[in-house]
Amino acid sequence: MTEERDEITMLGMGSGNGFEFEEPPPLRVTGYICFLLGVLSFFSILFEPMLLVALGSILFGLIALRKYDGPRPAGTLVAMWGIILSVGFGTCGYTIPMLKKATLSRQAEEFAGQYIELIALGHDEHAMELKKEWYNRLSTDMNLADHYLSDQRISESLVQFKTDVVNRELKRRGPKAKWELDRPIRIYFQYGKEHAEVIWSDPTGDSEMKIQMFMDYRVDSTGKGQWQMSIVQQLRRRLVAESVL
């Protein structure tokens, strides 16, 4: 009788009334992928194309956090952290370049406006200095007019500068001309440095004229940004064929 009672008790324990073995929670690998991509999205602050990594992290995170029945799947917690990282780094990677472009656009507009004003006032020598690299520019304390006349080669370049079509038009309209931006300033990165394209128009003139300026941006030895005027010309429209045979 004793042995039969013990056997019944052991059978009852195995049937669920005693010890039970809980199933391990399901594993969602997408949560760990989300976290890994969220960490890698840090580089979106340095490289704008890495914003795609942040978007991928959010996508895997949403997949890992989908609805579930039963115990909480493993990987959902790290998925939440991955989404937080990707959103934080992705936001920085998007806003920092945007703020930088806004700052450079404002500086480029100010620099180009000063260039136009110098020519309109007849300070051609000072305007020519702005076409040099910052480390080659002469001091503003010296008499630039005498310096440009002291050397024949430099004086010839000054004559060419004064007879330029755009410069003559700027002088003719004078410093009171209301030059306005024709379109938003274009900031772009090429050949290892930042550039700006600024297009001006004077709708109050007797004939509408648009001036196109290309400028280079560099950082000097003290960490200060320096602009250099590269090209100043009348706006040229690109001729594009309607079809290519």
pLDDT tens, position by position, for the chain (245 residues)?
455 455 444 444 444 555 555 677 888 899 999 999 999 999 998 888 899 999 999 999 999 999 888 788 888 899 999 999 999 999 999 999 899 999 999 999 999 999 999 999 989 988 999 998 888 888 777 788 777 877 778 888 888 988 899 999 899 888 888 889 999 999 998 888 899 999 999 877 656 788 999 999 998 888 888 999 999 999 876 554 544 44
Spell out the residues 6+ positions from residue 53 whose beta carbon is closer than 8 angstroms to its own: 37, 40, 41, 43, 44, 86
pLDDT digit string (tens) for 154-164?
Answer: 888 888 988 89
Burial per residue of 156-184, b for 16 or more beta-carbon CB atoms within 10 angstroms, e otherwise: eebeebeeeebbebbeebeeebebeebee
- Evaluate whether 57 touches 85 at the Cβ level (below 8 Å): yes
Cβ(57)–Cβ(34) under 8 Å? yes
The 10 Å Cβ neighbour count of residue 234 is 11
Say which DSSP state 139 is in: P
CA 194 to CA 73: how far, in whole Å? 48
Write the pLDDT tens digit of every residue in 58-90: 999 999 999 888 788 888 899 999 999 999 999
